[in-house]
Amino acid sequence: MPPGESQDKAARPIDALPRADALSAMLTSHAAAVAAVAPARPAIDAAAGHLAEALARGRAVFYVAAGSSGLMALADACELPGTFGVDPRQIRICMAGGVPADGIMPGATEDDDGEATAAVRGMAPGDVAIVVSASGTTPFAVAFAEAAVAQGNTVIGIANVSAARLLELADLAIAIPTPAEVIEGSTRLSAGTAQKVALNMMSTQAGILMGHVHDGMMVNLVADNIKLRKRAARIVARIAAVPEEAAVRALEVSRYDAKLAVLIALGVGEGDARNRLAGAGGRLRDCLATAPGDPSTN
């Protein structure tokens, strides 16, 4: 059994503990899983750079995993378009057996290396794969990584066991050796927590590198509901130092493109604002220094 799936034999079984102590043991396990991510920060940062470069060039990013790891990958993948305005067509989800629409996730699909190999044929030159497996030996994940590497695509591997086969294959290996699980074999707990943290860090860093975060705000969000339109108005108002009413007017002109709306609110014409952003690679900060109403110069 992989180390990350084993149970701490020195501890009392979680089902033998008083209920309050059982919850405390779970929380301690999750905290240890988060701490296990810290040594992987350099690898996560390097992976974020590759992710940002691929997305900026219009390439696709494939999230690949099975079972619980697939759910962690799915959560991260689905957030990128809304949070950072990434084109949904650039995000591909390759989960063994497909995304479970009915809540049923058969275990046998993780052994289907044929499905994984077939999925790799959908990758184009320059596309990147993020392959996640707690053990680092899941047949679906390993087969995808092998085929993608052979095809010349960059593979980012995330595993909870050091020196696992997946990490040996990956161009960028992110090893997160997590402690024993409180329930033996249940990688949705400690291992899953560490995977989710690592994926969040990597994709958020990529968003920052692409200029989609400004002063801690997601300036490339997709404002497609009431809550997010209000958030966009607050973002534009804060950055441009204008009343929210003016921010809303600028957002309406920009069709709720927050970066564009900031420049419009500062007095830049729509066409000029679009050209400035394009010239700056979408980085709002680089455009603000020359904006006529730049609040930082007032």
In a domain, 137, yes or no: yes
pLDDT of residue 233: 98
Range of weakest confidence among 55-69, 79-93, 184-198, 233-247: 184-198
Cβ neighbour number for residue 3 with a 10 Å cutoff: 13
pTM over cut 0.85? yes
For residues 210 and 48, the answer to whether their CB atoms sit within 8 Å is: no
Residue 108: per-residue pLDDT: 86
| End residue of a domain, out of 162, 197, 232 | 197
Contact 232, 256 (CB under 8 A): yes
Closest residue by Cα to residue 96 from 117, 127, 126 = 117
pLDDT digit string, tens, across residues 126-174? 999 999 999 999 999 999 999 999 999 999 999 999 999 999 999 999 9
pLDDT at 5 over 60: no
Residues 87, 127, single domain; the answer is: yes
207 in any annotated domain = no
Long-range contacts of 24-28 (CB under 8 A, 24+ apart): 25/182, 26/182, 26/189
Res. 187: pLDDT tops 70: yes
Distance CA 250, CA 173 (A): 44
CATH code at position 89? 3.40.50.10490
Residues 57 and 175 in one domain: yes
Residue 179 lies in a domain: yes
What b/e readout covers 152-191, taking b as 16+ CB neighbours within 10 angstroms?
ebbbbbbbbbeebbbbebbbbbbbbbbbbbbbeeebbbbb
CA distance 185 to 114: 25
Could you tell me if 46 and 180 lie in one domain? Answer: yes
Q: Encode 101-143 in three state secondary structure.
A: CCCCCCHHHHHCHHHHHHHHCCCCCCCEEEEEECCCCCHHHHH
* CA–CA distances in Å: residue 248 to residues 173, 222, 225, 237: 44, 15, 14, 8
pLDDT of amino acid 293: 59
Quote the pLDDT of residue 2: 55
The answer to whether position 250 is within a domain reads yes
Do 100 and 244 sit in the same domain of this protein?
Answer: no
Q: Identify whether 206 is part of a domain.
A: no
The number of angstroms, rounded, from the C-alpha of 9 to the middle of its chain's C-alpha atoms is 34
φ/ψ of residue 174, rounded to 5: -115, 100
Question: Does 84 map to a domain?
Answer: yes
Rounded mean pLDDT, 88-107? 90
> For 248-298, how does the pLDDT look when each residue is reduced to its tens digit (9 = 90+)?
999 999 999 999 999 999 999 999 999 999 999 999 999 997 766 555 544
Annotated active-site residue 245? The verdict is no
Kindly state whether residues 11 and 104 are assigned to the same domain.
yes
- Among 170, 197, 224, residue at a domain's last position: 197
Q: Are residues 184 and 224 located together in one domain of the fold?
A: no
Single residue among 197, 226, 258 that ends a domain in this structure: 197
Asked whether residue 253 falls in the same domain as residue 107, the answer is no
One domain, residues 142 and 221: no
CB 162, CB 136: distance < 8 Å: no
* Same-domain pairing of 20 and 130: yes
Per annotation, catalytic residue among 5, 53, 110, 181: 110
The mean of the pLDDT values for the chain is: 92
Q: CATH number, domain at 277? A: 1.10.8.1080
Distance, in Å, from the CA atom of 227 to the CA atom of 233, rounded to the nearest integer, reads: 10
Task: Note whether 89 and 181 are same-domain residues.
Answer: yes
Q: Is 79 a catalytic residue?
A: yes
190-246 residue pLDDT tens: 999 999 999 999 999 999 999 999 999 999 999 999 999 999 999 999 999 999 999
- Does a structural domain hold residue 15? yes
pLDDT recorded at residue 298: 42
Among the listed residues 79, 184, 244, 270, the single catalytic one is 79
Q: What is the pLDDT, as a whole number, of residue 297?
A: 47
What Cα–Cα distance (Å) separates residue 122 from each residue in 62, 79, 128? 10, 22, 11
Q: 127 with 147: CB under 8 angstroms? A: no
Structural domains counted in the chain: 2
- Find tokens 């730049």 and name the residue: 294
Q: Are residues 41 and 164 in the same domain?
A: yes
Same domain for 252 and 167:
no
Full residue range of the structural domain in which residue 235 is found = 213-297
